[in-house]
Amino acid sequence: MSDAASKRDAFEAKIRAYVGLKEGLPFECPDPVNEPMIRHWCEVMGDENPAYLDPEVAKKTAHGGIVAPPTMLQTWDMRGYAMRDPALIQNKQRELHKLFDDAGYTGVVATDTEQEYKRYLRPGDRITAETTIESISEQKATALGIGYFVVTRTVFTDQNGEEVGWLTFRVLKFKPAQQPGAADDDRRAAASKPTRIRSPRGHDNAWWWEACDEGRLLIQKCSECGALRHPPRTMCGKCQSTQWGSIEASGRGCVYSYTVLHHPPIPGYDFPCPVALIDLEEGTRIVANVAGCEPEDIHIGMKVECVFQDVDETMKLPFFHAVK
Ligand code: ZN
């Protein structure tokens, strides 16, 4: 066996010892399930379901009162941006990531999550989360670099010890791919230049991306009640009609919220990378990059307009520029 192969075997034996281990002690979520957090979450997500928001209406539903949106499950376990919770610092997942870092797998990117909800949570429920390192893949070659997929599973239980839901979270720990060296010829550098992630075009949304290819920003419109909706989907949320058409957006709007991404530097994107939620003047929102100004000049309420730009040879996307 070569040196490199035996080194890799030794490393894999070390990381595999973590499979099946609990991340740490069960974590008692800091706040009980509560109405203010439900209300804020619904506002941010644009979810107006009265079962989550209106006590009078909620009383008459099968739930008999306000319930939390199931997809909020993970928010009860959030521990703040600083992540200073001792249970997070001294835990097995951190230890495992340190082993990867020390072996050169310094990159990390979250790839996907699966979730299942066993029951609706109600205000007053006390949630405990317990996370297990479920699996580590074989070594994989990815566009980001060589690495391993690590899956953790978090099980959520209530004050009676009953399971209320679970989620898995998969991350890729990878050795960042080497940048082409200065000595490489331009052609090779261009050929290996990573591109943006392609748009996911399916049966229900390909039409929207195809309009982008032509530099047109469309908004889906219900043929029954006229409600506009975005992103594209099969059914009207207002009247449940599946008949729809579209209108062309003026492209004018304003920044409802935004964030500036610095890390991880995903190949194919320019960093810092400002991503904004834009209120279009027609009344729907769209997530898009803001361009043409410094990230620090972006602000909530900033008036913007859509400009289609080629991000590479085969992809055109709507960007939003400040209106002068
Ligand atoms: Zn409708």
Pick the CATH number of 3-33+68-176 from 3.40.980.10, 3.30.450.40, 3.10.129.10, 3.20.20.210: 3.10.129.10
Output the CA 206–ligand 1 centroid distance in Å: 21
Output the CA 232–ligand 1 centroid distance in Å: 13
Output the CA 222–ligand 1 centroid distance in Å: 5
Output the CA 10–ligand 1 centroid distance in Å: 60
Output the CA 285–ligand 1 centroid distance in Å: 17
Output the CA 220–ligand 1 centroid distance in Å: 11
User: How many Å apart are CA 1 and CA 9, to the nearest integer?
Assistant: 10
Q: Can you point out the beta strands (E) in 100-251?
A: 107-117, 128-136, 140-141, 146-157, 163-174, 218-222, 228-229, 244-248
pLDDT tens digits for range 221-270: 999 999 999 999 999 999 999 999 999 999 999 999 999 999 888 888 88
Output the CA 267–ligand 1 centroid distance in Å: 40
Contact yes or no for 278/253 (Cβ under 8 A):
yes
Two structure tokens written together for 165: 């839901």
Output the CA 72–ligand 1 centroid distance in Å: 26
- pLDDT, residue 83, reads 64
pLDDT tens digits for range 151-164: 999 999 999 999 99
Output the CA 286–ligand 1 centroid distance in Å: 19
pTM score, whole prediction? 0.58
Output the CA 241–ligand 1 centroid distance in Å: 5
Contact yes or no for 254/222 (Cβ under 8 A):
no
Provide the 8-state DSSP code for 25.
S
User: For the chain, what are the domain ranges?
Assistant: 3-33+68-176, 206-322
SS3 208: helix
pLDDT tens digits for range 89-146: 668 988 999 999 999 999 999 999 999 999 999 999 999 999 999 999 999 888 788 9
